[in-house]
Structure 1
Amino acid sequence: MTGWLWTAVMLQMAMGAFDTLYHHEGTERLAWRASQRTELMLHGVRNLLYAVLFMALGWLEPRGGWAVALIALLGVELVITLWDFVEEDRSRHLPATERVTHTLLTLNYGVILAMLVPLLLGWAGEPTALPRADHGWLSWTCLVAAVGVVVSGLRDLAAARRAPRLVEADPASLASVLLDRHTILVTGGTGFVGRRLVAALAAAGHEVIVLTRGPAKAALPAPVRVIASLDAIDDRHPIDAIVNLAGEPISDSPWTLRKRRKILRSRLGVTRAVMRLAARLERKPEVIVSGSAIGIYGLRDATPLSEADGGTPCFSQRLCAAWEAAARNMIPTGIRLVTLRTGLVLAAEGGMLARMLTPFEFGLGGRFGSGRQGMSWIHRDDMVRLIVHAITTPSLAGPVNATAPAPVSNAAFTAALGRALHRPAILPVPAAPLRLALGDFAEELLLSGQFVVPHAALDSGFCFAYPTIDAAFDRIVGNTPPSSPLAGQATSLGAAPGLPIAA
């Protein structure tokens, strides 16, 4: 084999590793998307074929029938790649970097074929044999690459088998308690929670208007109306409820001064604009559900916290306090205001959990720091149902903790995730490197926390479909089918003896 052929093979390995780690595992998280079952199967089979190719090129010189078999394998790999292109375009929107990477991989594979096939055809004319070859470090690189694609291929095939169990509950069922037909404005409707809420409302037959900065890229289900400015809503347009979820993501690190200002301004700006809209509408909405977060309680110990508790000073506390004040001080008279203090929202598609699934699936997960910090969480479907419940419950007003009734410590949280994935969770992430690298972001979101209990939601009669962390994780990873939207037993704190705070 020539030096140019080896260069092309090494380049193919490097680009393939980048595509798998950065796109498939990182930004796209294909293994946790129920819609990508066929693509995962194609990736799995192709990776196993690549393992055979890398071993053959690195350690063998196939002659006769073996050379013909390797040519056939190259042909099958080409067919699978073309099939994969069609499947990707059919089932998902590829980011620009992935399209460029795939184009380069295809062109480079063409170069490999142009140099390798003539060599194999020459070997095919010789007696069938499989002599060993040794190309030094190149052979060992091929071995490492072969092991890597075998692991990746088997993982993709296992993920494809799991994909049907990841199908979410019918979105319409999440909004089943909202009777008649309502017109609802949602800001932040293309976000992690907002997109699921919009899907639920639209599937249940309601008129949904979504405010987003990029209407052309929203990709929301018809007949949702997408607008880029609240000025597009006429004063006479009837709106029954407004759900205000918009804001710069807080979970992106690091928290530079510019980032903090952007987080604060985005929340205050949209909230004030929503209140101005409500004031000018001829028919006022009955309720505004405005976002907040449990960060308003600051950094706390293991004491259970309710909506009546105050907060200790930190950036997230000041942010949430200002966010709630903007809504409370500008709410037009006669409109009911619910401020949702959201905890850690759990689903495979986004949020902190999406970043944890891959390392934990490979047995590389563990607690953050001491593991004693509180993690007050909620399953995303329960979050959507709680928003709908807030719209339909006239007695519910003021702060509402959007968290499940059984908050847990970080150690219990990571142990539960390991159990759901049938993997150990024994590799802790030390606190010092996190503090050094991420500063206040690590301190407030990773190494500290709160044990928050949803008094207001439970007292208003809301039932959680996923009241415990084990129930939530088992659903998210596909161990159990979707729960009934009316599942859950607690209607008040006194009726929930089986839901203690887990340490």
Structure 2
Amino acid sequence: MTTLLWLMTIQGVMGAFDTLYHHEFTERLPWKPQAGRELFIHGLRNLFYGLIFASLGGLSWGGVWAGVFAALLIAEIGLTLWDFVVEDQSRHLPPSERITHTLLAINYGLVLAFLAPELMRWETLPSGFHPHDYGLGSWIMYLFAAGVWGWAGFDLLRSRRFRKLTAVPSLHLDTPNQRVLITGGTGLIGSRLTQGLIDDGHQVTILTRDKAQAAKFRGPLTVIDHIDDLRAPVDLIINLAGESLSGGLWTRRRIARFYDSRLGITGALIDWIARQPVKPKRLINASAIGIYGRSETEIFDEASAPAAPDLATDLCTKWETLALTAQNHGVPVSLIRFGLVLSVDGGALAQMLFPFEFGIGGRLGSGRQWISWIHIDDAVGMVVHAANAGLDGTVNATAPVPVRNAGFTRALGRAMHRPVVLPLPGFVLKRLLGQMADILLLNGQQVLPARATHSGYRFRYPQIDAALNALFRGRM
């Protein structure tokens, strides 16, 4: 192959890596409403790229058409610059994606440098399109052309995914105009709570390390990055801060962050409460159903005792024990033990979407492990219900009908209109993910929301099919 085709091959490989690893797997752009414009640009740019690959593989643009091809190359640069601007406006790019984009830009510059003499040669040809053949090099270009054209159509269709979304259900605290402090207010559950409570007319303050994320909220909001910056009294504290358990491999450093991110901020909140002359009326503290341990046969509710210690039970037990010390200062505490929160915006479900969207999803391990799940709207609703109903102590935030993993994946396939044909063996997951696979994926428990049900909470989505269909309605 010529040097030009080698450079285009490198461009194609790096572009495929950027698309699959960053756009699809880690950043999950097709599932983020704010990424609609970026997906449209990607689709349009890939149409151009496909034409460039196909032409370099087997077609010379002669005469005046050489100028048209040059204009095409310049237009691709314009689309790339537009893409850079939109990306910086809509999301925070990880370092690996910025490096990849830089390498793509450098390599594309080399492509243009080596292509310039070829364009000058094309200009001397009679006007029209002239076939040429570089053997294997041509077929590699055709392969890349087919790939980027196919992905162009995919991205253009998915850029329309969020244009007709249903409104987010409103939240309502029975006591009006409350002063609410939310930690983890830019996270999965916190974001929905923050916006809902702002819309309900409350004075909301969020404690967050990422102030830039707070720009996404509509309405009056106070943002602080340290609890000591909070001077005014608070009526309600909702503590959701904590490193996500499903965000990556459980290295020693990440496990340490699981503890530090939860116990550190909770300890700081307790110290702040102790110093206040006017105490909050309630602390609502997040926890997780992992505290019950794992079983295929036992059914757990709030009266069940914590299981023998493993990482999940130890983490939850220490977190809850620390939060309960707020009672020593006269502040009632609600402990919300969340199950698997279903949302396409983040959490464990979001990590599953990549294989399922391409029709290669399936059950995990035996498929017999229980999944105690809850739709994001009910997860948020449960927090508000605990405040309104004055539920002290533990409250399970799970739907009333748990499902086994095999049933869950079949329901996910139905909601996404995709086959469920490729099971992932347990030993593979353990090899890839280690302790995370054993605790989060391959073992589960049936956890029932007894206190929420008995205190009158009405689930919006008690059944898995209705919950998943609501999440994917208009998006597939």
SS at match of 1:26: helix
The amino acid that maps onto 2:270 is M
Give yes or no for the alignment of 1:70 onto 2:66.
no
Paired with 1:130 and 1:281, the residues of 2 have a C-alpha distance of: 79
Q: Confirm or deny: 8 A CA contact 1:278 1:332 kept in the other structure.
A: no
SS at match of 2:162: helix
Give yes or no for the alignment of 1:370 onto 2:366.
yes
Give yes or no for the alignment of 1:232 onto 2:212.
no
The structure-2 alpha-carbon separation of the partners of 1:331 and 1:168, relative to structure 1 and needing over 3 Å to count, comes to farther
Give yes or no for the alignment of 1:428 onto 2:423.
yes
Q: Confirm or deny: 8 A CA contact 1:175 1:204 kept in the other structure.
A: yes
Paired with 1:366 and 1:276, the residues of 2 have a C-alpha distance of: 47
Give yes or no for the alignment of 1:318 onto 2:317.
no
Paired with 2:112 and 2:16, the residues of 1 have a C-alpha distance of: 20
Q: Confirm or deny: 8 A CA contact 2:326 2:332 kept in the other structure.
A: no
The amino acid that maps onto 1:188 is G
Paired with 2:57 and 2:453, the residues of 1 have a C-alpha distance of: 63
Paired with 1:125 and 1:445, the residues of 2 have a C-alpha distance of: 64
Q: Confirm or deny: 8 A CA contact 2:162 2:474 kept in the other structure.
A: no
SS at match of 1:285: coil
The structure-2 alpha-carbon separation of the partners of 1:232 and 1:407, relative to structure 1 and needing over 3 Å to count, comes to same
- Post-superposition shift, 1:121? 4.0
- Give identity over the alignment, percent: 47
Paired with 2:106 and 2:141, the residues of 1 have a C-alpha distance of: 20
- Post-superposition shift, 1:157? 1.3
Paired with 1:451 and 1:270, the residues of 2 have a C-alpha distance of: 30
1:381 paired residue number: 377
Paired with 2:160 and 2:211, the residues of 1 have a C-alpha distance of: 35
The amino acid that maps onto 2:50 is A
1:472 paired residue number: 467
- Post-superposition shift, 1:208? 1.6
- Post-superposition shift, 1:357? 1.1
Q: Confirm or deny: 8 A CA contact 1:345 1:351 kept in the other structure.
A: yes
- Post-superposition shift, 1:149? 1.0
- Post-superposition shift, 1:367? 0.5
TM-score normalised per structure 1: 0.87
- Post-superposition shift, 1:377? 1.1
SS at match of 2:422: coil
The amino acid that maps onto 2:124 is G
TM-score normalised per structure 2: 0.91
The amino acid that maps onto 2:15 is G
Give yes or no for the alignment of 1:359 onto 2:355.
yes
- Post-superposition shift, 1:278? 2.1
- Post-superposition shift, 1:226? 2.3
The amino acid that maps onto 1:151 is G
The amino acid that maps onto 1:262 is R
Paired with 1:246 and 1:327, the residues of 2 have a C-alpha distance of: 12
Render the CA deviation track for 1:378-413: whole Å, top value 9, x for unaligned.
12222112111211222x221111111221111111
2:188 paired residue number: 192
Paired with 1:468 and 1:361, the residues of 2 have a C-alpha distance of: 22
The amino acid that maps onto 1:477 is F
Q: Confirm or deny: 8 A CA contact 1:174 1:384 kept in the other structure.
A: no
1:113 paired residue number: 112
2:8 paired residue number: 9
The structure-2 alpha-carbon separation of the partners of 1:47 and 1:287, relative to structure 1 and needing over 3 Å to count, comes to same
- Post-superposition shift, 1:176? 2.7
Paired with 1:258 and 1:227, the residues of 2 have a C-alpha distance of: 26
SS at match of 1:326: helix
1:264 paired residue number: 259
The structure-2 alpha-carbon separation of the partners of 1:420 and 1:281, relative to structure 1 and needing over 3 Å to count, comes to same
Match among 421, 442, 448 for residue 437 of structure 2: 442
1:453 paired residue number: 448
Q: Confirm or deny: 8 A CA contact 1:183 1:240 kept in the other structure.
A: yes
Paired with 1:161 and 1:250, the residues of 2 have a C-alpha distance of: 31
Q: Confirm or deny: 8 A CA contact 2:63 2:127 kept in the other structure.
A: yes
Q: Confirm or deny: 8 A CA contact 1:8 1:112 kept in the other structure.
A: yes
Paired with 2:177 and 2:328, the residues of 1 have a C-alpha distance of: 24
- Post-superposition shift, 1:376? 1.0
- Post-superposition shift, 1:134? 2.9
Match among 340, 344, 348 for residue 348 of structure 1: 344
- Post-superposition shift, 1:68? 4.8
2:167 paired residue number: 169
Paired with 2:18 and 2:264, the residues of 1 have a C-alpha distance of: 38
- Post-superposition shift, 1:447? 0.1
- Post-superposition shift, 1:453? 1.4
Paired with 2:138 and 2:61, the residues of 1 have a C-alpha distance of: 15
Q: Unaligned regions of 5+ residues in structure 2, if any?
A: none
